[in-house]
Amino acid sequence: MSKTISLNHKQVEHIAQLVQLELSQAEIEKYAKELATTLDYIQNLKELNTAKVAATSQTTGIKNQFLSEALNEKTLSQDKALQGAPKHKNGYFQIKGFAYNK
Q: Which of the listed CATH numbers 1.10.3470, 1.10.20, 1.10.1740, 1.10.287 matches domain 9-46?
A: 1.10.20
Chain centroid to Cα 23, Å, comes to: 18
The pTM is what? 0.49
For residues 40 and 20, is the Cβ–Cβ distance under 8 A?
A: no
Tens digits of residue pLDDT in 31-87: 999 999 999 998 888 889 988 988 888 888 777 766 655 566 677 889 999 998 999
Distance CA 28, CA 7 (A): 10
